[in-house]
Amino acid sequence: MKGNSLIRIHECFILRNGKIIKEDLWIRNGVIVNPEQVFYLEQVEADITIKAFENLIIAPGFIDIQINGGWGIDFSYDSENVEEGVKTVAQKLLAHGVTSFCPTMVTSDKDKYAKILPKIKKSQGGRDGATVLGVHLEGPFICPAKKGAHADQYIRNPDKGLESLEEVYGSLDNVNIVTIAPELPGALDAIKGLTSKGIKVALGHSSASLAQGEEGVKSGANLITHLFNAMLPFHHRDPGLVGLLASATDKQVYYGIISDGIHTHPAALRIACRTNKEGLVLVSDAFAAQGLADGSYRIGPMAVSVENGRAYVAGTKTLCGSTTALDECVRTFKESIGCTLEYALEAASLHPAKALGIDHKKGNLNFGCDADFVVLNPTTLKVMSTWIAGEMVFIDEDISNIE
């Protein structure tokens, strides 16, 4: 299918504006177009008409804003082969309906950032893999008491604000998100500096009180990294970062949540959803073991042991990352909280797009948006086909007879 062809997907079920509707989906030059423009002003016919999706659902492509690797690849470790590693994961993600992602680096030494960050460039997706939206830097500016699977010897304070971050990371050109603990010395100045550069800030791996979290939000942060994990537990006298779900700050706070059936109890998922429905963002937090069997792996400098699909820092019972792809998280989330199909799908597409401020182009199927979408079985939510910029980049063998 040529990129400039006018494509019509005939009488399909489309998720748009929170509802599943039945109509044609029109695409040209990688963008969803308004059929009224085609019919009444241009008066042209489609170059290609597809009729194979009549009993399936077309939803916006999934966007994973926290993923450490997969299929044996660790974005934080192999600095010599990082470009090939990102390409491998990007290609594998297509089978899971992921059309865009943020490769995530965990707390590492300064030398790793210098070698790896310049090599993970933002890039448009296609047949070779999902779109790279920019790197998510998770650490090293985190609270040692809530380090989780992060190596303490590399954890730092951002004493000099943004300058401290630039000293460690080097160039921020390829960065999309930085996770930081707001209670650290210099953190608020760092948050202001990052947001002035258009970089999103997530609060996480933190012992912050609610008041400190609110100061972080007022300074520019709009995300929470993997809610409930690596932060103070909710307490009625000081709910900590969890309290940001219902705080009085005047901006929407988004929060990543790992619904792999391991990291977050179904009741906790329900509490978060009912407290702040619009802010819930499904993330995989997957690492090198994604798609592979139990065994020994690593996440950055840390050795990891995977037992029955659960990843632990080697020799401990500290959870570190997930082995579950985002499409499975969507299925688990829907089953766990009993939400609508529409909501579960938007939690992995529209919500992360809004959190990143790219929902005018990604995360929905409105006219003028990028034609990035996933075709799903409505009963099993199995990914049948994945499309990026109007091009089919993955197809399941069960529907290989598209015409």
Which residues are designated catalytic? 285
DSSP secondary structure string for all residues of 343-399:
HHHHHTTHHHHHHHT-TTTSSS--TTSB--EEEE-TTT--EEEEEETTEEEEE-GGG
Say if residue 265 carries a ligand binding annotation.
no
Say if residue 321 carries a ligand binding annotation.
yes
Say if residue 149 carries a ligand binding annotation.
yes
Say if residue 125 carries a ligand binding annotation.
no
E-assigned strands of 215-290? 223-224, 254-257, 280-282
At 377, phi and psi to the nearest 5?
Answer: -70, 125
Say if residue 181 carries a ligand binding annotation.
no
Angstrom distance (rounded) from CA 142 to CA 126: 35
The verdict on whether omega for the bond into residue 301 sits within 30 degrees of 0, i.e. cis, is: no
Q: What angle do CA 121, 361, 250 make, to 5 degrees?
A: 100
Say if residue 15 carries a ligand binding annotation.
no
Angstrom distance (rounded) from CA 64 to CA 374: 14
Say if residue 319 carries a ligand binding annotation.
yes
Say if residue 263 carries a ligand binding annotation.
yes
CB 374, CB 60: distance < 8 Å: yes
Say if residue 320 carries a ligand binding annotation.
yes
Closest CA to 289 of 72, 64, 65: 72
Say if residue 36 carries a ligand binding annotation.
no
- Supply the DSSP symbol for 144: G
| Residue 8, strand partner residues | 26, 49
CB 74, CB 288: distance < 8 Å: yes
| Residue 275, strand partner residues | none
Say if residue 229 carries a ligand binding annotation.
yes
For the chain, the residue count is: 403
Q: Which residues are annotated as a binding site?
A: 138, 149, 205, 226, 229-230, 237, 263, 319-321
Q: Which residues are annotated as a binding site for Zn(2+)?
A: 138, 205, 226
Q: Which residues are annotated as a binding site for substrate?
A: 149, 229-230, 237, 263, 319-321
